[in-house]
Structure formats: structure tokens, C-alpha cells
Structure 1
Amino acid sequence: MHTIDQVASDWLVHLRVEKGSSAHTVSNYRRDITRYAQDLARQGRADIALVTRHDVEGHLRRLATGELTGRTAAPASVARASSAIRSMHRFAVREGVCVNDPTSGVRTPKTGEHLPKALSVDEVAALLAAAHATDSPVGLRDAALLEVLYATGARVSEAVGMSVDDVDLDAELPVVRFFGKGRKERLVPVGSFAREAIGAYLVRARPALSARGRGAHALFLNTRGAPLSRQSAWASVAAVAQAAGLEGRVSPHTLRHSFATHLLEGGASVRDVQELLGHASVQTTQIYTRVTALTLREVHRTSHPRATG
């Protein structure tokens, strides 16, 4: 007998070690699978070989309706749980733990299409101006962080994961290096504004922050000299947004959306934007073409004398 807990433990190690999934992804999947294992154990299904499609669908239904947790789950949360369960059972089949995959034929709940919200160019300019308003070490760090996020479209996890060695500002084409999902490496060019902000931070702020810790190699440091966390980066962006009068409208991912949208509006190809964002599939990038199309349609509607009527 192989319990769901036993297989889940091996599967999570596989995700982390062999597939290179991020700690954030593994943490979310661990939570989803732990809840799944506990729920099926209450239904008398501890042995993974005995799990049926009915069991999987019942769990997802109980999760969605709130029977499991006391509150209804968002469609995206149910979809993520479904993805984790499906991946684990497929792993069990590949490893020879069981013969049949009970998730075969189970439909992933539809989450609906959520178009990303991008800032206007003027709003980004106001945000970055607010970021540059403070000349303290933390202020210089936050200015560099926001400039990097908008200049490169980096995910926040990629930005805080950068080391000093990932920045090459002296090359003929200055670039920064990111390690995305699955530790896939990519180089992204940076413009003059980001270069100046990074340079000011490295010369005038990072040494002071680094002296408070143990000389970590991370590019972005907190006030204790340790690597800046994702949560602290979010808090920094939120604080700057509040100062710019954009409270509640800006997150690190907003800057990623704005980066992609503004590139497409400026004439960049979808394939180029895909490469810069580190998307594995061009279909993921194509949602931004819808955003720009909707923007152009609104501009036409409000600006052309014969657009309405």
C-alpha cells in the first residue's frame, strides 16, 4: 500500500529537485495536496491506488463550495488544486505506484479570463518619480528595484533573487540576468534610467546596507544586510505607490504588465515580448495583445468624431 501522503512527499521532492520548481510553487502545492490527502483519508481513501475519479471530483466540489474550509474557494484556487492533484497522480503512474490515473477525464474548473491591469505611461512616470524622492539607502534601493521591475518586466521573485554578479552595466549592451521558472536563465537589456538607478544604489546605498549583515551576494538587501524578501519588495512598491497617489493600484506584477503592454503599444512583436518576459508559451504573452487592442478601441471611441452615434 502506498498512501497519498507518501506519494505526495516523493512528488514534492521531484518538483523541487528535478523540475526546479520555485519554493513558492512547492509551498502552494504542498498545502493543496495536504488538504487533498486529509479529505480523502476521511473518505476512507488513504491508499492512492484506490482513489477514483469520483473521489477527485468530490474533493474539488467540497473545496469549491466551502464544505472543506468553511468558505467558498476562488475558482483560481480550485484550478490550482486540480493542477496539483493531476500532477501528483500522473507522477504516481510514471513511478509505477499505481496503474490508473483517476484524474483522467476530470475537468479543470474554468477561472475566467482576467485581463492584466497596466498603468499608463504617465502613471509609471509619476510612480518612478516618487521612488526617486528619497536619497536614503532604502530610498535608493527602492528606486533601483522599481526601475528594474519596469525596465525588464521581471517577476518579483526574479528581481529579489538577483545577485550583484547578475548585473553587467559596463557591457556594450548593458543587461541583467534572471533565473525564471524552472531556473531558466535569460538576459534582458536595461535602459539608461535603470542603469543610473542601479549604479547609484550600488555606490551610495548597498555598501551601507551590506555592512549591517554578512556581505550577502544578493543585489537587493534589507536594512539588516540580508537579501530582500518578496514580501518586503511588495511592501516597498506599495509604499511608493501610496506616495505617488496610486495606492491600491500597484504591485510588482502591475509593473510587469505595464512593461509588456507599453512594449506592444510601442511596436514590439509578441515573440520579442515573450522572450523578454520569459514565457514558455507565446499564448501566455498574447493576452497582452488583447489589452492593447482594448486600449486602442477605447481611444478610438473617445477621440474619433464618428466613433459613436
Structure 2
Amino acid sequence: MRHTHALVGPLLQEFFVKHLLAHRNVSPQTISSYRDAFRLLLKFSTAKLHVEPVTLNVTDLGPDLILAFLESLERERNNSARSRNARLTAIRSFFRWIAVARPDLAGLATSVRAIPTKRTDRRLIYSLSRPEIQAILAAPDLSSPSGRRNHALLLTMYNTGARVSEITAMESRQIEFGSRSSFAHLHGKGRKERSVPLWTRTADALRKWAREQDKEPGALLFTNYRGERLTRNGVDSILQKAVSRAAGTCPALSGKHVSPHVVRHTTAMHLLQSGVDMSVIALWLGHEHLDTTHIYMEADLALKEKALNQLRPAGQTAPRFRATDKVMAFLESL
């Protein structure tokens, strides 16, 4: 049944402007993700139904059409199951709002929200060894301004484990330099803020870069040669050049695909291998749930080998404890 005054266009506009921006104050990344999802959905729907976008009704977007759209993402656009699920998240959010804003459409909203996400394979986390990441950090040419920027950028990525969106949006005032300790104040997903301590090496590189740039506190910390915000592709290009150059001194990097997210994984793995508690790593990375961070524990083969070495074969008893002279002396002193 087509409802009057239920055109998709006006309702989408209200959803984005009033609900997402004004009421929920979601991040620009969420807006971009949701926008792209609905661009694809409207393009698919109008082509399938042979209607103009301005005449598309919310009741046209039933569960059957939504499922056909999701299947087309994988079949025609070669999207992964994760990308498909991300599009579904945007659609579910819209219909969750529809159920409240338009109670007369609650039945439709419920049926769309009942569409399940697609199960995905849990991929093993891939990270770099310490020699590999150190070779990458040493790759930029410090004799040029771009090289000094790249050096500070890569150090910040590895030190903080920040997402690319957090790095590219970072402003000068988000770095707090202290005589003993320095910190990076990051704005993460869902506008959640966190502070990450900086190693002396990172703080020194950032301090030199900040002095060289001499920008206002609200200015972007890392920009391109035009003074504009670095894009995701820009950061990836900087990293790829560093990896290519580092492969000359660290052959293990040859042929490896190192993305900014691999650097983030590397930060987490190295913190874990250094004995940092999982809850601290979760705070460091800006993970909302500890389960997200636990994948690093599962991926760390060194920890698994250590646990295996501590496990005695069946039937083998533990050796009898024999106190050392120091232990005996301590006990006798009590």
C-alpha cells in the first residue's frame, strides 16, 4: 500500500539533517557512508521500478527490493560481505527512524530492519615485525619538507595506532607537548575523544614539524603541497613510497601490501607483545568493545607458542619446587 506524503526524498532529507546531524551529531565519516549507501540504493531502485527519484515512495523500499539491492552489490559491484553489511546498517538506521517519525510505516520499518546481516569470515590480523616498521619509519628523506612531514606522519600513525580519518583531521592544537610527557588528543568514531601518550621520538618529530609550519592552533597538522587536507589516498601514497624505499634495507618488505590499517594493527600487536593489558590497548585504539581488541590476542602466534611451551604433556608431572637460597633467606627473615 502506497502512503501519501511518504516520498523518499523529503524523508531522507529530514533523516540526514534533523536526525543524524542535529539530534545525533554523527561524524562526517558516518554521513559519508550513509550518503553513499542511499545513492546506490536510489539508483538501483529507480532503475528496477522504472520511476524517477522524486516520485519514489518509502513503501517501494520493501524487504524484497532491499534484499535484491544487497545481492546486486556483491554480484554486480563485487562488494565484499562487509561492504554489503555496511550498506544495510545505513538502511536499518533510516527505517529505525522511520518507525518513530512515521508510525503509520512502522510495519514496513520492522520488516526491513529484520533483514539479517551476512556472515563474514573472520580474517587473521596481519601486522609488521619491529624491524619492518622501523625500516619504514626511517625511509623518509629528512632533508626535504615533505620528507619531514612524512616522517612525523608515519611516526604518529605507528605511535597512536590512529585511523586514517583521525590522522587527516588532526589539528595542531590536538598535540600537547610537555616537559616530561606529550599527548595526542584524537577524535575517533562516534565523536569519541581519547588521549594517547607520545614517545619521545614522536614528540620530537612533531615539535619540529609544528615549529617549521608555524600554523594557528586550529590549522591542520598534516597537509598536501597545496596546504589542503590530506586524503586517504594521499596517506596511502606516502606510506607506499616509504615501504618501497624501506624494502631496500629490509628485504622482508618486498612484495608486501602495507596499508594504513596494517600500521594500526602493528601498533596493537606490538603493544600486546610488550605486555600492555588488553583494556589499555582498547582505549589506545579507541575500541568501544573489548571483543574488537581480542582479535589481536588470537592473532599473536608468539603468545600461542609461549602458552604451548608452558603446557606439559599429559602424564608429565611438574618438577618439585626447590627454594633457592635467597627464597629461604627471605622466608626465614619474616
Q: 2:282: which partner in 1?
A: 274
Q: 2:238: which partner in 1?
A: 236
**Does 1:20 pair with 2:25?**
yes
- Aligned pair count reads 292
Q: Counterpart of 2:131 in structure 1: which amino acid?
A: D
Q: Counterpart of 1:222 in structure 2: which amino acid?
A: N
Displacement of 1:61: 2.3
Question: Is the Cα–Cα contact under 8 Å of residues 134 and 140 in structure 1 kept in the other structure?
Answer: yes
Matches for 1:135-154 after TM superposition, within 5 Å: 135-154=143-162
Residue aligned with 1:145, SS: helix
**Percentage identity across aligned positions?**
29
TM-score, structure 2 as length reference: 0.78
Residue aligned with 2:186, SS: strand
Matches for 1:21-170 after TM superposition, within 5 Å: 21-41=26-46, 42-43=48-49, 46-49=56-59, 51-66=61-76, 71-96=77-102, 98-100=105-107, 101=109, 102-131=111-140, 133-170=141-178
Question: Is the Cα–Cα contact under 8 Å of residues 172 and 218 in structure 2 kept in the other structure?
Answer: no
Q: Does the C-alpha gap of structure 1 residues 44 and 105 become closer, same or farther in structure 2, counting only changes over 3 Å?
A: farther
Gapped regions of structure 1 (runs ≥ 5): none
Residue aligned with 1:147, SS: helix
CA deviation vs aligned residue, 1:260-293 (integer Å, no higher than 9, x gap): 111111111111011111111111111111111x
Displacement of 1:50: 5.2
Q: 2:297: which partner in 1?
A: 289
Segment drifting more, 79-88 vs 7-16:
7-16
- Name the Cα RMSD after superposition: 2.7
Displacement of 1:112: 1.6
Q: Counterpart of 2:128 in structure 1: which amino acid?
A: L
Q: Does the C-alpha gap of structure 1 residues 241 and 298 become closer, same or farther in structure 2, counting only changes over 3 Å?
A: farther
Q: 2:322: which partner in 1?
A: none
CA deviation vs aligned residue, 1:121-146 (integer Å, no higher than 9, x gap): 11111111113x43211111110001
CA deviation vs aligned residue, 1:212-236 (integer Å, no higher than 9, x gap): xx99711113222333333322211
Question: Is the Cα–Cα contact under 8 Å of residues 175 and 189 in structure 1 kept in the other structure?
Answer: yes
Q: 1:188: which partner in 2?
A: 196
Residue aligned with 1:187, SS: strand
Q: Which has the larger radius of gyration?
A: 2
Question: Is the Cα–Cα contact under 8 Å of residues 164 and 260 in structure 2 kept in the other structure?
Answer: yes
TM-score, structure 1 as length reference: 0.84
Gapped regions of structure 2 (runs ≥ 5): 248-252, 314-334
**Does 1:6 pair with 2:14?**
no
